[in-house]
Amino acid sequence: MSIFNQHEPKQHERFRGEHPIVVEGLKTAFGEHVVHENLSLKVNRGEIIGVVGGSGTGKSVLMRAIIGLQSTAAGEIEVFGNSITRAGLDEDIGVRCRWGVLFQGGALFSTLTVGENVEVPLKQFYPDIEPELRREIARYKVILSGLPENAIDKFPSELSGGMKKRAGLARALALDPELLFLDEPTAGLDPIGAAAFDRQTRELKETLGLTVFLITHDLDTLYEICDRVAVLADKKVIAVGTIPELLETDHPWIDEYFNGPRGRAASHGKMPRGNSRASVDNQPDSEA
């Protein structure tokens, strides 16, 4: 049982539906610049879905729209069966406390220690939790993220790049989320550090029963831990499926991405995850 059961906001039953994230006909724009047009995507419960696309295709914009940080021009977004695009304040709070987000670079507050950073969402959503318990929760999340326990009292300026990522992960896990958003989690890490973070992500997913929405350019990450991959191009999701299924599509960007020199190097000697059948749709006006 979650330690938050006795505190506000009211706890929900874990999501039992098939798709914790459903995006239908999404349009996002900055002024006259349209980023997404008629974008649709369904995320399966319990999977790690990788989101890839060229620079400027709006991967981070899509994530921000799903978590309610980016306004939308059209379409519908549902998380745990709740409308994000139409949610009122109370309902929005009830949904937001069920996910965690690791932004690019960790996005830590520089004047707070690691432990204090982890406590930020606890103070926001559960202000009645006693300080001692809040500190203990933060300590547990720091350890869960793979950091040494003594990192709890360090400031971001005292951490390496990889440690900052893990501190951000600890904060993302603070509320015992069902859904974890990771934006370029291995960017800037050396190969050993990136591989360790990938293993940590897979272990957390399996141990905690998470659904993971992962934006990445890292081909090794896609091959090692992603159950499916969604490809953004032409302002929408043009294909979604396992890597073997994506390799069967004829879109030029997908072919260049996975069959180019880096893609061949990443796939060398590896068996992509998810050889079971899954839906892949690269028709421009179809639901992905």
Residue 21 lies in a domain: no
Residue 220 lies in a domain: yes
- Angle ∠(284,287,219) on CA atoms, nearest 5: 75
Mean pLDDT of 159-170: 95
What's the pLDDT tens digit per position in 41-69? 999 999 999 999 999 999 999 999 999 99
Please tell me the distance from the alpha carbon of residue 62 to that of residue 51, in angstroms, as a whole number: 10
pLDDT at site 277:
39
- Angle ∠(262,266,271) on CA atoms, nearest 5: 145
List, in order, residues 6 or more apart from 14 with CB less than 8 Å away: 178, 209
Residue 11 clears pLDDT 90, i.e. is over it: no
Mean predicted lDDT score pLDDT of the chain: 88
The model's confidence at residue 279, banded by pLDDT at 50, 70 and 90, is very low
8 versus 164: the higher-pLDDT residue is 164
Residue 286 lies in a domain: no
Helix residue ranges, H only, 86-228: 89-96, 114-125, 131-144, 161-172, 191-208, 219-225
pLDDT at site 93:
74
Residue 77 lies in a domain: no
pLDDT at site 273:
58
% of the chain beyond a pLDDT of 70: 84
Q: Count structural domains, the chain.
A: 1
Helix (H, G, I), strand (E, B) or coil at 61: helix
Residue 29 lies in a domain: no
What's the pLDDT tens digit per position in 71-108? 999 999 999 999 998 765 555 677 889 999 999 878 99
pLDDT at site 17:
81
Residue 5 clears pLDDT 50, i.e. is over it: no
Residue 107 lies in a domain: yes
Residue 262 clears pLDDT 50, i.e. is over it: yes
Residue 127 lies in a domain: yes
pLDDT at site 286:
37
Residue 122 clears pLDDT 70, i.e. is over it: yes
Residue 255 clears pLDDT 70, i.e. is over it: yes
The model's confidence at residue 274, banded by pLDDT at 50, 70 and 90, is low
CATH of residue 197's domain is 3.40.50.300
User: Where in the sequence is the domain holding 119, given as residue range(s)?
Assistant: 46-68+89-268
What's the pLDDT tens digit per position in 199-252? 999 999 999 999 999 999 999 999 999 999 999 999 999 999 999 999 999 899
Report which of 285, 287, 183, 280 is spatially closest to residue 234, judged by C-alpha positions. 285
Which pTM was predicted? 0.87
